[in-house]
Amino acid sequence: MDKKVYLETFGCQMNVVDSERIISLLAQIGYRQVDSAEEADLVLLNTCSVRDRAERKVYGHLGRFKPIKDRRPELIVGVGGCVAQQEGEKMLAETPYLDIVFGTHNIHKLPEMVLKVEGREGRFHETDFLDKETRLTLFPNRSEGDEVCRFVTIMQGCDNFCTYCVVPHVRGREISRSSAEILDEVRGLAADGMKEVTLIGQNVNSYGIQDERELSFAALLRAVADIDGIERIRFTTSHPKDMSDELIACFADLDKLCHHIHLPVQCGSDPILTKMNRGYSREEYLELVEKLRKACPDIRFSTDIIVGFPGESEADFEQTLDLVEQVRYADAFTFLYSPRPGTAAAEMEETLAPEVKQARFDRLIELQQQISETFWQDDVGKVLPVLVEGESKKGEGQYFGRTTWNRIVNFPGSPKLVGRTVMLRIVKNFRNSQLGEIVSD
C-alpha cells in the first residue's frame, strides 16, 4: 500500500538532518513524503524547544492536526525532537489526538512505533537517552544524494551547560562520531557530485576532545579538504571558548574553507557572560576576532545574541552594543531571553520589565541592520564566485547559490549551471538575499 507521511521540521540543523533520517527510515515501511497534512496517513512534527516562542509554535501547529483527525480517525499523529524529549509521556496525556512521542535519541524506533499504531496496539512514547556506545552506532550516514551542498553530522549533544540553554537537557551528552566514518560519508557524497559540505554539531570546535586517539577538529577539516571533488567547506556552530590557534590557521591555509564563521557571543558584558557560563571574557572574544581577521582578512562574522538575560543592566547591554560595533558582524541573530525548564538560569530572578527588554532588543536590531547594510552596499558591483545550488523560488529561469560569506544570490541562469561555480556581479540587495548577473561561467 502507498502510505503518505507529512513532516514539519523546526529548529536547528540537527533537526534538519534528523528529519532526513526519519523520512528514509519511514520509506522502509512504505511511507513516501507528501507536502500537505490533508493527504497524509501519518503527520509528524520534529520540534525545537530552545526558546519559549519556538515551543509555542509547535503546540500551535499540532492543534492544526486535530480537525483532520476528527474527520479521519485513522490518521496517525506523532511528535519528535526536543519538545518531545522534554515533555515525554506528558504530551500523550495532554493531547488525546496524539499517538506517538519520540525523543531525540529514539528516531530509530519510529518505524516500529508507527507499525504498532497502524495495528491499533495503542499509543506510544520513547524518550529514554541511550548510552554512548549505542548512540555511536546510530549516527546518520547519507553517503548518497544528488544535491550540491549537504550537512554532515560530526557530533551530537552538548556538555557546555550555558545556563540559559535547554540543548544539553534535550540532546544529552556530547559525543563525536569517528573521523573515519565522517570522511567515508564525505567521500561517498563527493563521488555522487556533491560540492559543498557543512560539518555540523552544537559545538564543532570541541570535536574529538574526549577521545585522544581521534583527530582534532582542525585536523578533521584538513582531511575533508583533501577529498577530491569537495570545493567548499563550512562548519557550524563554533564555541569561542574552544577556538584553537590550529583551527584559526585553517582559515589562512585551506582554500576550500569559506570566509565566514558563525561565532555566537551571546552578550558583550563580562558579568553576564559569567552568569551565562560561557567560559570566555569579552576581551578573549575580541582577541579571537582579531586573530581570525589576521588569518583571513576578508572573513565575515555572524553571531547569536541574547537580550535581557536575568540581571542584565543598561550598562551590560551597552557593552553588547559596543562589542557589536567593534566586531562589525555581517549578520546577527538576536533573541529575547526566555527561561527554559530545567536550566540554571530559569532559577535566576528576572527583574527587567518586558518593555525594557523589548526596547533594548529593538536598539540592537537597528544597530545591526545598519552594520549589515554597509556590508551589502559594499558588495554591489563586486564580481564574486557563487556555487550554484539549484533553481530559485524567485521565478522561472532564476537560480541561486551562495557567496563565500554565506549570502544567497539569485540570478537568471540555466539548469546546466547547477553544481558549478560561476562569477556573478552583485547588482542589488534585499534583506535575505542579493541579486546577481552572470559575468562568466
Rounded CA separation 278/306 (Å)? 12
Residue 165 near ligand F3S by CB under 6 A: no
Using CB under 6 A as the binding rule, the residues of this chain from 75 to 94 that contact ligand F3S are: 81-82
Torsion of CA 140, 141, 144, 145, to 10 degrees: 30
Q: Which is nearer to ligand SAH, 159 or 437 (CB)?
A: 159
Quick one: which segment of 15-23, 159-167, 294-302, 408-416 binds ligand SAH (CB under 6 A)?
A: 159-167
Residue 306 near ligand SF4 by CB under 6 A: no
Residues contacting 219, CB < 8 A, separation 6+: 179, 246
Which secondary-structure segment (H or E) carries 219?
helix 217-225
Which secondary-structure segment (H or E) carries 299?
none
Residue 301, all three cell numbers: 562574522
Residue 333 near ligand SF4 by CB under 6 A: no
Rounded CA separation 335/343 (Å)? 17
Using CB under 6 A as the binding rule, the residues of this chain from 222 to 281 that contact ligand SF4 are: 239
Q: Minimum distance between the CB of residue 403 and ligand F3S, rounded to whole angstroms?
A: 25
Using CB under 6 A as the binding rule, the residues of this chain from 129 to 158 that contact ligand SF4 are: 158
Angle between helices 110-118 and 13-27 (to 10 degrees): 50
Rounded CA separation 360/363 (Å)? 5
Torsions phi, psi of 237, nearest 5?
-105, 150
Residue least distant from ligand SAH (Cβ): 304
- Nearest-CA neighbor of 198 among 239, 240, 231? 231
Rounded CA separation 406/399 (Å)? 16
Q: Which is nearer to ligand SAH, 139 or 400 (CB)?
A: 139
Q: Per-residue x/- marks for ligand SAH, 88-127, CB under 6 A?
A: ----------------------------------------
**Number of chain positions touching ligand SF4 (CB under 6 A):** 10
Find the binder of ligand SAH among 78, 81, 103, 264 (CB under 6 A). 264
Residue 200 near ligand SAH by CB under 6 A: no
Binding residues vs ligand F3S (CB under 6 A): 11-12, 14-15, 48-50, 81-82, 166-167, 170-171
Binding residues vs ligand SF4 (CB under 6 A): 158, 160-162, 165, 167-168, 202-203, 239
